[in-house]
A = this chain, B = another copy of it.
Amino acid sequence: MSIPLVHPVILCGGSGTRLWPRSRRSAPKPFIPLIGERTLFRAALERASDPSVFSHPVVVAGAAHVSLIEAQLPDGMNARIVVEPSARNTAPAIALAAALLEPDAVMLVCPSDHFIADDPAFVAAAQRAANLAKDDWLVAIGIEPERPETGYGYIKRGEALDGGYRVERFVEKPDLARAQSFLAEGGFAWNGGIFAFRAGALLDELARHRPEMAELVQTAVSEGEQDGLQFHPSASAFDRIDGDSIDYSVMENTKRAAVVEASMGWSDIGNWAALQDALPSDEHGNYAVGDADFKEARNVLAMSDGPRISVVGLEDICVVVDGDEVLVTSRTGAQLVGKLKGPSQG
């Protein structure tokens, strides 16, 4: 078998409000160093940079983040930046990239705000997915579930394919009992939002299931303008799209959905507790970025851009100091951080 070159498509649309105050409107989650020195965006690019496997990337982002993207592109990387005129969810963003690639190009859609610990496992999974995608399978990379997580969608595998499986069905975020039954039953993977498509196949399926969206994307591209590395789709067409996710508009409707399973230390870093889980810790479960002092503290994440954080007599909390904001949240409360006043104020 000959594995096609893979075109990374990096999506930069998430707002990351649940990682406020480190993630702000002006510099959201993909563009800030959360784990180590590297931003998640930079890591996503570098993970898919081996020229024997990957072609140069297409980055899809809003205008507000283009300068961050250009500043964080590795030197000499020949990336194309597609500047979304407006936020219309993942299906239009992916379709824009597909319409700019050759129809036979195999694209690998990667969120820019997830963490993957095991890059070689990612590359291997990407190659298996690309191999199916070249035969017009629409491939989701499924993450082997580590716990009965209720925050993710699940993918149930069906009959075996070469390197993967047909998708039997997609499952929305389950309650805990269902999530537990999925793990007990086996054959379920987390839907991590990573997909491989032949560009032409993706556009064909979109035209089948969301014809109006497909047409507006084609118009936005044909009436768009190239400006150096940046491509600006026509706003008059793109803004009229009724936005939707790639899952709802294509993956759950197509008859050729496939899943390639991977175990690669993946996390969506969906909130402070998830970030804490992806970070190391000392023998008491504590971890500090910046100056910190712990006393009778357990499982505490302390992250500061300046002031020292001292924590006494507490467990299972995250403390984040960022400029003019101080956040103190329980691990269980971490999912509510986006609903505080601060994130809506920038």
Digit string of A299-341 for contact with B (CB within 8 Å is 1, else 0)? 0000010111111111001010101111111101110110111
| A329-B311 contact, Cβ under 8 Å, with A293-B342, A339-B295, A340-B295 | yes
Smallest CB gap from A329: residue in B: B312
Copy number in the complex reads 2
Q: Is A296 an interface residue (CB 8 A)?
A: yes
Please tell me which one of the listed residues B306, B314, B341 contacts residue A329 in the complex, with CB atoms under 8 A apart. B314
Measured CA separation A277–B142 after assembly (Å): 52
The chain B residue with its CB closest to the CB of A345 is B308
User: A326-B304, A328-B328, A339-B295 known; A334 and B312 CB under 8 Å?
Assistant: yes
- Asked whether A330 and B308 contact (CB < 8 A) given A295-B339, A336-B295, the answer is no
Q: Note all chain B residues with C-beta closer than 8 A to A339.
A: 295
Roughly how many angstroms separate A308 CA and B342 CA in the complex, as a whole number? 9
Q: Are A306 and B328 in contact (CB under 8 A)?
A: no
Q: Is the CB of B309 within 8 A of A341?
A: no
**Given A319-B326, A319-B328: A333 touches B313 (CB 8 Å cut-off):** yes
Q: A310-B341, A312-B329 are in contact. List 6 more A-B contacts (CB 8 A).
A: A293-B342, A295-B333, A304-B326, A310-B327, A310-B329, A328-B328
**18 sample A-B contacts, Cβ–Cβ < 8 Å, listed by A number:** A293-B341, A295-B336, A296-B333, A296-B336, A304-B326, A307-B323, A307-B325, A308-B324, A308-B325, A310-B341, A310-B342, A311-B327, A312-B334, A312-B337, A313-B329, A314-B328, A326-B326, A328-B328
